[in-house]
Structure 1
């Protein structure tokens, strides 16, 4: 991949930013990871200048509404593009076994048949098992079960053509069995529900989430080079980056980023951030 485009940075209850999801770009093609909680995915893609016709790979992590409901809109709009002869090739949808029927059911209950008629012909489901590797846009993507205590959830690691490595852990803390995917990785994408000093306000641990301190301490202990924190609360969005960096840099000494929606990270340059 050549760049990561942040489409959303908020948790499920965020209203001042979009729910956490992102796209990875290689050439003119994109790999979309999650789709947020509604049709906000369409405006996020438009703001990022990402045409639907150049999205042929989508991965959905789990069935929570802030990750999956935007997928209904992706299927509707790509289906419309297929019907109009503007979308070339097939849409490849990656998910774990239990998630496929959820995506199908949500779509068939809420979208006209003319949009989902392409299921199994040009909209193809690829079921990922724990440890499965797929070649997506020329890079090796290994999917894994994060062993969520809430809803079954998969995430992935990525080995890019140029040697850059990345680990995306979904929206829960890193458990011990995931450490081999994270140790000494170039880029770690990790949730941080709130500041550690706000834990009694936002109750991250009761929700199986982390604080900034937790995520940064983990990244420091595993020699991660670049750490991106997102899936946060949004109560003070204008000061989020400053306050999260201030706390995080006490515990992590690599390159720490707290992006806003529509921020871009370039690969393989470790410090390129626009």
Structure 2
């Protein structure tokens, strides 16, 4: 399985794309979130993936920097179906609030000749807290992260070679996530900024973590590989070096601070 980080930034970034990523196993792809606009097509193209080949999508929550790119994916998929230029089916997984929102927005923004393919070929599937489903030939378990803002789900997926990859969303760790995140081979976790710059970026007021917070947590959870994302972009030129310097002494595993479009063999 391969992981491609399509975007690494938080909602306000302009120097990189918003946080979203792609899991690939054989010919199958799972897109997780879509960033804040049609830039998702640029990111997929740069990653060497045709958007038409992305048939499974998971949306963590309704914030604009995660869901707006999904609306563009829906538009292009449904438009392609209406024009006879898109074969087969696609599925978007999300919790009930996001599923309802996507359905409502599609009805308001897209034409009837496009939306008639909703549920017929483009399926909006609601996942429940604790539910497990087959994705990419593996089992994926979905969980409510206990957000203090908009309802948000994360997921954990088994890896072909053993172990699991866990995505904890873009908020600080909640104890309800422990059964999924504990002992992960790969953990994706938000790190809004450096702890040394918390007075500048104010992560706690925005309900986010620092690099130091994420690294201490990953060490406690027994994680092997930690990927930090959903960051600020004021340090973009030196982000990898700065974040690694702060986090590596606090974490015993392998720490990664990716750039947009960086890939990992899982």
Tell me, yes or no, whether TM beats 0.5.
yes
How high is the TM-score relative to the length of structure 1? 0.94
1:199 alignment counterpart: 198
Match in the other structure for 1:103: 102
How far apart are 1:92 and its partner, in Å?
A: 0.7
Larger mean Cα displacement after TM superposition, 109-118 or 73-82:
109-118
Describe the superposition over 1:147-193 as per-residue Cα deviations: whole angstroms up to 9, x where unpaired: 10000001101112321311100101111121121111100000000
The 10-residue stretch of structure 1 (161-170 or 211-220) with the greater mean CA deviation from structure 2: 161-170
1:116 deviates by 2.6
The offset of 1:223, in angstroms, is 1.2
The offset of 1:118, in angstroms, is 1.1
Where does residue 68 of structure 1 map in the other structure?
A: 67
Give structure 2 stretches of 5+ with no counterpart: none
**Equivalent in the alignment of 2:250:** 251
- TM-score (structure 2 length as normaliser): 0.97
- 2: CA distance between counterparts of 1:180 and 1:237? 33
1:196, distance to aligned residue in structure 2 (A):
0.2
Q: Which residue of 1 aligns with 2:145?
A: 146
What is residue 87 of structure 1 aligned with on the other side?
86
Aligned to 1:240: 239
Given the superposition, is the C-alpha separation of residues 75 and 158 from structure 1 closer, same or farther in structure 2, using an over 3 Å criterion? same
2:219: which partner in 1?
220
1:128 and 2:119 matched: no
Q: Does 1:10 align with 2:9?
A: yes
Q: CA deviation at 1:99?
A: 1.3
Assess if the C-alpha contact under 8 Å between 1:53 and 1:88 holds in 2.
no
* Gaps in structure 1 of 5+ consecutive residues: 268-274
1:38-75 deviations in Å (ceiling 9; x for gaps): 11111111111111221110000111000001111001
Asked if structure 2 preserves the Cα contact closer than 8 Å seen for 1:75 and 1:116, the reply is no
Q: In structure 2, what is the equivalent of residue 272 of structure 1?
A: none
Counterpart CA distance in 2 for 1:22 and 1:113 is 30
Contact 2:139 2:157 in 1 (8 A): yes
Aligned partners of 2:15 and 2:233 also within 8 Å: yes
CA distance in 2, matches of 1:48, 1:82: 24
Pairwise CA distance, 1:115: 3.0
Alpha-carbon separation, structure 2, partners of 1:83 and 1:28: 25
Deviation at 1:107, TM superposition (A): 2.2
Larger mean CA deviation between 193-202 and 110-119 belongs to: 110-119
Cα RMSD for the two superposed structures: 1.1
Q: How many residues align?
A: 266
How far 1:29 moved relative to its partner?
1.7
Distance in structure 2 (CA, Å) of the matches to 1:191 and 1:137 = 24
CA separation in 2, counterparts of 1:3 and 1:127? 25
